[in-house]
């Protein structure tokens, strides 16, 4: 079949490495553009905070001076906040998110998201929170074990009381090399790697050489930097949602 303007990825094979349960929207967008999609999760999400610990953190935040903010930088953290009893646990707490995918995940659990920073970087969220007066109040940051400290540091410098709860870690999927080798052997035109942990997991499994000559699509400066450290030149999506990443893949593989 020949690619067309509406299906520019016809004849192309794209490897999606998102964690199990998170790949569906991106895979759907890619298939609508004509791609043959191979889903192989590179990482798994392991909760490290109990439901009780998350609820205790929310209660603790309500004891701080207002304004009180919950700031979420990933859909992984948003999903784990299902442990909260909403709206009670977030009464009097304003909610902010990085990017529309994270905001959507928060809305899915019943949170009223008031502020959404564009893109995928925590720096933009820091700017918006500080602009909204968070520096005179308190901010709760539920995040991953490997999360960057930039957001918390910026908020502390602005005067905010910052409470950090490490609620999950990412680990490589068991047997990842055994899953990836056949996919690369058959042919892959592009790979999506949407977090530094996915980058490290894939490269540890098959080496950076397996990605040479492919279009490697990522989101965010941190993930791009991780790829560059391994000698790879990434295509950085301007938007972190499924549609934005699929558009970046299509742009990279334009015939």
pLDDT score recorded for residue 56 = 94
Quick check: is 1 in a domain?
Answer: no
| CATH code: domain of residue 202 | 3.40.50.10090
Answer yes or no: is pLDDT of 122 > 90. Answer: no
Mean pLDDT of 133-142: 96
Q: How many separate domains does the chain show?
A: 2
Q: Which residues pair with 141 in a beta bridge?
A: 164
State the DSSP H helix or E strand holding residue 107, giving kind and residue range, or none if neither.
helix 99-108
Please indicate, yes or no, whether residues 130 and 211 belong to a single structural domain of this protein: no
CA trace torsion 186, 191, 195, 198 (10° rounding): 10
Mean pLDDT of 65-74: 94
Burial 34-56 (b: 16+ CB within 10 A, else e): bbebbebbbbbbeeebeeebbbe
- Tell me which of 241 and 227 has the higher pLDDT: 227
Quick check: is 84 in a domain?
Answer: yes
Mean pLDDT of 176-203: 95
Final residue before a domain boundary, out of 170, 198, 225: 170
Cα–Cα dist 40/18, whole Å: 7
Please indicate, yes or no, whether residues 195 and 88 belong to a single structural domain of this protein: no
Quick check: is 2 in a domain?
Answer: no
In the three-class reduction of DSSP (H, G, I as helix; E, B as strand; rest coil), residue 164 is classed as strand
Please indicate, yes or no, whether residues 79 and 143 belong to a single structural domain of this protein: yes
pTM to 2 decimal places:
0.85
Please indicate, yes or no, whether residues 58 and 161 belong to a single structural domain of this protein: yes
- Across the chain, mean pLDDT equals 93
Please indicate, yes or no, whether residues 21 and 121 belong to a single structural domain of this protein: no
Mean pLDDT of 8-33: 93
Q: pLDDT confidence of 237, banded at 50, 70, 90?
A: very high
Q: How far is CA 239 from the centre of its chain?
A: 11
Quick check: is 136 in a domain?
Answer: yes
Cα–Cα dist 120/132, whole Å: 19
Domain around 185: 13-42+173-252
Cα–Cα dist 238/127, whole Å: 19
pLDDT score recorded for residue 145 = 92
Quick check: is 8 in a domain?
Answer: no
In the three-class reduction of DSSP (H, G, I as helix; E, B as strand; rest coil), residue 204 is classed as helix
Please indicate, yes or no, whether residues 240 and 163 belong to a single structural domain of this protein: no
Q: Of 149, 172, 141, 16, whose CA–CA distance to 78 is shortest?
A: 141
Q: pLDDT confidence of 119, banded at 50, 70, 90?
A: low
Please indicate, yes or no, whether residues 145 and 51 belong to a single structural domain of this protein: yes
Strands (E), 82-234: 94-98, 113-117, 138-144, 161-172, 190-192, 215-219
Final residue before a domain boundary, out of 130, 145, 170: 170
Instruction: Give the tens place of pLDDT for each residue, 145-182.
Output: 988 888 999 999 999 999 999 999 999 999 999 999 99
Q: Of 151, 146, 149, whose CA–CA distance to 69 is shortest?
A: 151
pLDDT score recorded for residue 120 = 64
pLDDT score recorded for residue 60 = 93
pLDDT score recorded for residue 1 = 62
Quick check: is 3 in a domain?
Answer: no
Quick check: is 122 in a domain?
Answer: yes
Instruction: Give the tens place of pLDDT for each residue, 40-61.
Output: 999 999 999 999 999 999 999 9
Percent of the chain with pLDDT over 70: 97
Please indicate, yes or no, whether residues 142 and 228 belong to a single structural domain of this protein: no
pLDDT score recorded for residue 240 = 84
Tokens coding 107? 């809305």
Q: pLDDT confidence of 72, banded at 50, 70, 90?
A: very high
């Amino acid at each position: 079949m020949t690619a067309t303007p509406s299906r520019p990825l016809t004849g192309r094979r794209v490897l999606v490495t998102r964690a199990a349960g998170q790949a569906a929207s991106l895979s759907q967008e890619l298939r609508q553009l004509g791609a043959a999609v191979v889903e192989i999760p590179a990482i798994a999400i392991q909760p490290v905070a109990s439901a009780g610990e998350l609820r205790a953190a929310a209660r603790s935040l309500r004891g701080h001076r207002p304004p009180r903010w919950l700031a979420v930088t990933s859909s992984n953290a948003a999903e784990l906040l299902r442990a909260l009893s909403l709206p009670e646990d977030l009464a009097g707490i304003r909610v902010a998110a990085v990017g529309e995918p994270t905001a959507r995940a928060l809305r899915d659990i019943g949170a009223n998201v008031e502020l959404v920073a564009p893109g995928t970087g925590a720096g933009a969220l820091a700017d918006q929170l500080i602009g909204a007066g968070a520096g005179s109040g308190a901010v709760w940051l539920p995040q991953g074990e490997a999360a960057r400290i930039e957001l918390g540091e910026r908020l502390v410098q602005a005067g905010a009381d910052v409470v950090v709860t490490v609620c999950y870690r990412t680990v490589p999927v068991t047997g990842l090399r055994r899953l990836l080798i056949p996919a690369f052997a058959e042919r892959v035109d592009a790979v999506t790697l949407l977090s530094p942990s996915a980058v490290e997991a894939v490269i540890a499994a098959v080496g950076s050489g397996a990605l040479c000559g492919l279009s490697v699509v990522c989101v965010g400066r941190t993930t791009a930097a991780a790829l560059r450290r391994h000698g790879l030149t990434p295509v950085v999506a301007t938007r972190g949602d499924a549609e934005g990443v699929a558009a970046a893949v299509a742009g990279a593989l334009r015939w």
